[in-house]
Amino acid sequence: MNTVHIPASAPYDVQIGPGLLTRLGGAVKSLCPKAGRCLVVTDDAVGPLWAAKALDSLEKAALPVSVYTLPHGEASKTADNLIALLNFAASERLTRADVFLALGGGMVGDLTGLAAACYMRGVDYIQLPTTLLAAVDSSVGGKTAVDLPAGKNLMGAFWQPRAVLCDTDTLSTLPRADFLSGCAEVVKTAILFDPDLFALLEREGPAFGRQAVIARCVAHKRDVVAEDERDTGRRALLNLGHTLGHAVEAESDFALTHGQAVAIGTAVICRAAEKCGLCPPEVPGRVTALLEKFGLPTHTDYPLDTLMERMLSDKKRAGGTVSVIVPEAIGRCAIRPMDRAALYDFMKAGL
Ligand code: GLY
C-alpha cells in the first residue's frame, strides 16, 4: 500500500492499495472514533458492485449505516440532489459526530463533500474513490461542488476529507471508457510536473501500474495543495486543459466525458502554445500522440465564438482575464492571464 500525507489546514492521509474497502469499518473507527452512524453515498453504477463490501466491513465494526444512491453521471451533480441528500441525512438523524462516506467517482465525491461541508455546518467525510479520475485528482485537495445551470462547480466549498481510501480493486470493474477518461488527468499531471511519468506513459500506455502511478499523481497534487490550498495561485496549474475542456464538455451537453473534454483542451493549448512560440514543437506532437494512445480525442469542431462565451463564464475568470495554463516544456507549465482578445487569438491558434 502507498500512503501520501496531505499537509492541508486539516491534514489527512491518502491510502492507495487493494482491499481497503474490506478494512473500511476499522478505518472509520480509528479516524472518527465518535461517529455513531455512517452515511454511505454512492451511485447506481458503483453501488451494486462495491457497496456490499463497504457495508459488510462497517457492520462488522458495529457501525450503523444509512445508504443514499444517486443516478450515475455528471447530470446528478445538482443543487437539488445536494438538498435531497441533506434532507436524507436529517431524516436518518445523523449528528455532527457522524461521518459521510463518498463511494464513487468525481460526481459522488464532489457532491458528498459539499453535503458534508454544509450538514450541521460541517461533518467529517471520507473519500472512497472508485474511478481513476477521482483517485488521481478530485478526491484529493478538498474541493467540493455541485454544478449550476450556468456552469460546472459554480456552487461549492473547500472542505478537506478526513481521509482518502483508494481501493485499487475497484478499478477492476471500471468501464474501459471511464478508465481512459481518467488517463487524461494522469497525462495532465505528467505535462505539469513530471517528464519521467510522461515517458513512462509513452512506454507503457494504458497498461501502466495503477497503484504506483496513482500514488505519484497524488504526491504531485499534495505539493500543490500544500502550497496553495485555497486556489489563489499555483493550484490554478491543475486547470491545464480545463478552461476549454469545461467549455466543450458543457457544449456537448456532457456527451463528452470530463476526461475526453480535458484531453481536447490540453491538445488545443499545446498546439496554441507552439504556434505562439511559447513551447518547442515536440510538445504538441508528443502530447497529441500520447492522448491518442489512450484513445482520447484531441480536436473539436465546436465554433470558437460559442466556446468563448462558455470560457468567459468559467470560474477561473478574474476581472477581465482568464488564467490559461500554458505548457513551456513537458513537465513545466506557466499561468498566463489573458484578456478576451488574447484568449480568442490564442485558442484560434490551437483549434
Ligand atoms: N481538480 C483541480 C483542483 O483540485 O484544484
Q: For the domain that residue 139 is a member of, what is the CATH number?
A: 3.40.50.1970
Output the pLDDT for position 257: 93
Which residue is associated with the grid cell 470558437?
A: 304
Atom of ligand 1 minimally distant from the CA of 238: 2
Task: Look up cell 449550476; give the residue.
Answer: 148
Dist. CA 59 → ligand 1 center (Å): 33
Mutate to test the pocket of ligand 1, among 153, 239, 325, 335 (most ligand atoms within 8 A of CB): 239
In this structure, the answer to whether residues 94 and 155 fall within a common structural domain is yes
- Predicted local distance difference test score (pLDDT) of residue 315: 62
CB 154 within 8 A of CB 236: no
Domain that holds residue 123: 2-173
Q: Are residues 192 and 253 in the same domain?
A: yes
60 CA distance to ligand 1 centroid (A)? 35
**φ/ψ bin of 326: left (φ > 0), alpha (ψ from -120 to 50), beta (otherwise):** beta
Last-in-domain residue among 173, 200, 219: 173
Predicted TM-score (pTM) of the model is 0.96
pLDDT at res. 3: 98
Q: Which residues contact 26 (CB under 8 A, 6 or more apart)?
A: 57, 61
- CA distances (Å), origin 114, targets 10, 90, 153: 16, 15, 11
Tell me the pLDDT of the chain (351 aa) as tens digits.
Answer: 999 999 999 999 999 999 999 999 999 999 999 999 999 999 999 999 999 999 999 999 999 999 999 999 999 999 999 999 999 999 999 999 999 999 999 999 999 999 999 999 999 999 999 999 999 999 999 999 999 988 889 999 999 999 999 999 999 999 999 999 999 999 999 999 999 999 999 999 999 999 999 999 999 999 999 999 999 999 999 999 999 999 999 899 889 999 999 999 999 999 999 999 999 999 999 999 999 999 999 999 999 999 998 898 766 667 778 999 999 999 999 999 999 999 999 999 999
Pocket test residue of 138, 152, 193 for ligand 1, highest count of atoms within 8 A of CB: 138
Please give the tally of structural domains in the chain: 2
Q: Which atom of ligand 1 approaches the CA of 140 most closely?
A: 4
Asked if 208 contacts 200 with a C-beta cutoff of 8 angstroms, the reply is yes
Under 8 Å between Cβ of 155 and 114 = yes
C-beta 142 within 6 A of ligand 1: no
Residue 271: CB within 6 Å of ligand 1?
A: no
Report helix, strand or coil for 337: strand
Q: Is 141 in the pocket of ligand 1 (CB under 6 A)?
A: yes
Which of the listed residues 113, 144, 173 is the one where a domain comes to its end?
A: 173
Determine the length of the chain. 351
Q: Are 136 and 231 found together in one domain?
A: no
Region of 204 (left: φ > 0; alpha: ψ -120 to 50; beta: rest) is: alpha
Cβ of 238 less than 6 Å from ligand 1: yes
All cell numbers assigned to 270: 499545446
Ligand 1 pocket, mutate which of 221, 228, 240, 249 (most atoms under 8 A from CB): 221
Ligand 1: atom nearest CA of 143 is 4
Contact 17, 27 (CB under 8 A): no
With a CB cutoff of 8 Å and minimum separation 6, the contacts of 125 are 99, 100, 101, 102, 112, 113, 115, 116, 159, 161, 162
